[in-house]
Structure 1
Amino acid sequence: MRLDGGHPALDLVNTVYGQVGQPPEDDVLRAPEDLMTFATRVGVAADASSTAALEAARRLRTACERAFRDDDPTGLEAAARRAYRAGTLRRGGWTWEDADPMSAVHRLAHAAAQLLADDDALARLRGCHDCCWLYLDRSKNRSRKWCSMEDCGTNAKKRRYVEKRRALS
């Protein structure tokens, strides 16, 4: 489970491997335990998960992809409204009960809504030139082209090298 998006909401979108517009090649979120692992790794962990929370996370993933890739925030807005109804606003921000299996999904919806409202971060939102993943380009000159240099960047450089060698022969 790679986390190359630079934000929990983008990492959620990136839990599906494959090409944009094509059927998914792999889905990291297959079981409630996978959601718990993912939530822990991105810092929105809860004490419990459930099949309902897993399905809600998958729906949120689709809503986030539509919001960030297609500029259609309708689904994300609905998820954020559900999250805020279930949460409590306290000094320091929104909180959700760790015992609630949906709390990780609510925290992800909240994080996604915050990202969508952050114009500076959205100006750095990019799609990988090699795969379907989204990421925040935090490079100094904002010229990052791949989700990860280790994978997609290396693959692109290999392809260019092979093409160059073929052209020379």
Structure 2
Amino acid sequence: MNHGDMPMPSPPDSMYNNSTKMSEMVMQMSFFWGKNVVVLFKGWPDHSLGMYILALILVFFLGFGVEVLSATPSMLKRGTNPVASSLSHAGIYAIRMALVYLIMLSVMSFNLGIFIVAVAGHAVGYFVANFLKLANTTRIDETTSNSDPKV
């Protein structure tokens, strides 16, 4: 008997609640515009413009947070205790990865607005993190160069 001859088994009824039909389970597979999207949780933003805007703001700040957290380990003081330092770096990394996965899942909604604010959040966060790093480096260089050598 060939696999092509075998009928496909139907999924168990426990997989779907009574109100869900197969036609409602189609996932969007190309980019689209509009507020009618599901972001991270079923029923959110629920076709509401206000909630869609809130979802955009959330995704923006997720991207922003990822980039700020990526610069944080270099800003942390290297302590004398390597275990505490490694734990703090690992904790920041874990939070950063959780945020990255949330952004990835949000972008998988294929909504162009969500995609644009995710990229914008990363870009603005990268700018702010590098600006703070450069400002801190410049401030340290100025304080060391302003000290006159004692003769």
Give TM class, smaller chain: 0.3 to 0.5
TM-score computed with the length of structure 2 as normaliser: 0.34
Query: Which structure: greater helix fraction?
Result: 2
Larger radius of gyration: 2
